[in-house]
Structure 1
Amino acid sequence: MDTASVLAVCRVHQLLEDPGSVGVTAIDKRPVAGPVRVHKLGLRGDVQASRVHHGGEDQALYAYSQDDADYWAAELGRELPPGIFGENLRIAGISATNAIIGERWKIGLDVEVEVTSPRTPCATFQRRMREPHWVKRFGDAGRIGTYLRVVRVGSIQAGDHIHRIFLPTHGVTIGKWFSDPTVEDMEALRDADADGEIRLQPEYRGEFEKLQRRLGV
Structure 2
Amino acid sequence: MGQDWDPEHYSRFADERDRPFVELLARVPDTAPARVVDLGCGPGRGVLAMARRWPHAEISGVDASPAMVQAARAAGASAEVGDLRAWASVDRPVVDLLVTTATLQWVPGHLEMLPALLRRVRPGGALAMSVPGNFGEPSHTLRREIAARPDYARHLAGVAEPAAHDPVDYLAVLAATPTPSSPGCPPPVPGPPWRPCPRTCARGSSRSSPPPCARPTPGPPWGWCCPSGGCSRWPAADDRSVARGPQEVPAPHTVSSMPARVRSTNLASPKPEPGGKPYATGIDKRPVPSIEVFAPGPSYGDGPGVVADHVGDEQHHGGAHKAVYAYAREELDHWERELSRGLSDGTFGENLTTEGIDLEALLVNQRIRVGDDVVLEVSVARTPCSTFAGHLGERGWLRRFTERGRCGVYLRVVAPGTVRAGDAVEVLEPPDHDVDMRVAFAAAMGDDEAAARVVAAGCLPRMYHDRLAARLRARG
**TM-score between both structures, scaled by the size of structure 2:** 0.42
Q: 15-24 or 65-74: which moved more? A: 15-24
Distance 2:426 2:287 in 1: 22
Q: What is residue 178 of structure 1 aligned with on the other side? A: 441
- Tell me, yes or no, if structure 1 residue 27 matches structure 2 residue 283: yes
Match of 1:107 among 370, 393, 397: 370
After superposition, the C-alpha distances for 1:11-56 in whole angstroms (9 at most, x for unaligned) are: 11233343344432111111102x3211213111101011111111
- Moved runs in structure 1, 4+ residues, more than 2 A? 14-24, 199-204, 211-214
After superposition, the C-alpha distances for 1:190-212 in whole angstroms (9 at most, x for unaligned) are: 1xx5xxxxx63522221222134
Higher relative contact order (CA 8 A, sep 6+): 1
Asked if the contact 2:281/2:310 (under 8 Å) is kept, the reply is no
Alignment of 1:148-159 (within 5 A): 148-159=411-422
Q: 83-92 or 201-210: which moved more? A: 201-210
Change (3 A) 1:212 1:3: farther
Q: 155-164 or 179-188: which moved more? A: 179-188
Match of 1:14 among 270, 291, 313: 270
Consecutive unaligned residues in structure 1, runs of 5 or more: 194-198
Alignment of 1:91-106 (within 5 A): 91-106=354-369
- 3-state SS of 1:117 partner: coil
Asked if the contact 1:107/1:160 (under 8 Å) is kept, the reply is yes
- Tell me, yes or no, if structure 1 residue 79 matches structure 2 residue 334: no
Asked if the contact 1:97/1:118 (under 8 Å) is kept, the reply is no
Asked if the contact 1:116/1:149 (under 8 Å) is kept, the reply is yes
Change (3 A) 1:88 1:141: same
After superposition, the C-alpha distances for 1:139-177 in whole angstroms (9 at most, x for unaligned) are: 111111110000110101100000012211211111112
Q: 170-179 or 113-122: which moved more? A: 170-179
- 3-state SS of 1:156 partner: strand
Match of 2:465 among 184, 204, 212: 204
Q: What is residue 196 of structure 1 aligned with on the other side? A: none
Amino acid aligned to 2:275? P
Alignment of 1:111-130 (within 5 A): 111-130=374-393
After superposition, the C-alpha distances for 1:61-80 in whole angstroms (9 at most, x for unaligned) are: 11001221121111111121
- 3-state SS of 2:314 partner: coil
- Could you tell me how far 1:101 is from its partner in structure 2? 0.5
Change (3 A) 1:84 1:183: same
Distance 1:111 1:16 in 2: 32
Consecutive unaligned residues in structure 2, runs of 5 or more: 1-256, 297-304
- Matched length: 206
Distance 2:473 2:379 in 1: 21
Question: What is the CA RMSD across the aligned residues, in angstroms?
Answer: 1.7
Which structure has more strand as a fraction of its residues? 1
Asked if the contact 2:270/2:284 (under 8 Å) is kept, the reply is yes
- Could you tell me how far 1:131 is from its partner in structure 2? 0.1
Match of 1:40 among 292, 295, 304: 295
Change (3 A) 1:75 1:204: same
Amino acid aligned to 1:32? V
- Tell me, yes or no, if structure 1 residue 3 matches structure 2 residue 259: yes
Amino acid aligned to 2:262? V
